[in-house]
Amino acid sequence: MTKTLLIGTTGMLKAAAAHAAARSKKAYLVSRHADDFSFDNDVLDVKLARLNESYENVARFLDAVAVHAPYDLVLSWIRPPADLLRAALDGMIAPDGRLIEVMGSRSILMGKDGEASIAERRAQALSLQPSLRYAQVILGFVIGEDGSTRWLTHDEISSAAITQMDNPVPRLIAGTLEPWDKRPQS
């Protein structure tokens, strides 16, 4: 990989972001507090350009990342709704580049009035862009042997994203989504 864009990767996806940066000549981390971020690894930190932006200000965010496009890899955790932002980022990926979107468990739920889920809408839209390799990570939960449930750990989440970087499939469910009524409530 030559250039990587990392969005929403300073917390639960830090290990996955480090994996991506290690395989990049240059990585661009976009976060509200990007200047405060470090991989705690001098080799990776020197490759990292930090862009202090929030995707809540779409125009400013896009201006900041467009300057460095095209990207060979984009790893993103963007909370919905952000359709305009997502579509604009799609256009900043190099031919044959890869987009890995990490989405929460609710992203697979149908919308109001039977509308397709955000995960399905994204998969359909990106299937129309054959020069872009697209992969999703849908975050689920874990059911213990005793029947208790918990959300995924940061390591489990990053591991799923790394799997999508190294051996991508169209959609990877990290953990489980069923039965839906068993998901953790906090």
* Averaged pLDDT of the chain: 92
3-state secondary structure of 125: helix
- First-residue to last-residue Cα distance in the chain: 38
Q: Which of 37-41, 67-71, 110-114, 179-183 is the least confident region?
A: 110-114
CATH 3.40.50.720 fits 3-182, yes or no: yes
pTM reported for the whole predicted model: 0.93
Rounded to whole angstroms, the Cα distance separating 154 from 147 reads 21
Average pLDDT over residues 126-141: 91
Reported as a pLDDT band with limits 50, 70 and 90, residue 1 is low
Reported as a pLDDT band with limits 50, 70 and 90, residue 118 is confident
Most confident of the ranges 69-83, 109-123, 154-168: 154-168
Q: What is the pLDDT of residues 7-39, one digit of tens each?
A: 999 999 999 999 999 999 999 999 999 999 999
Name the token pair of 153.
């750990």
Helix (H) / strand (E) element for 154: namely helix 154-166
Average pLDDT over residues 84-103: 92
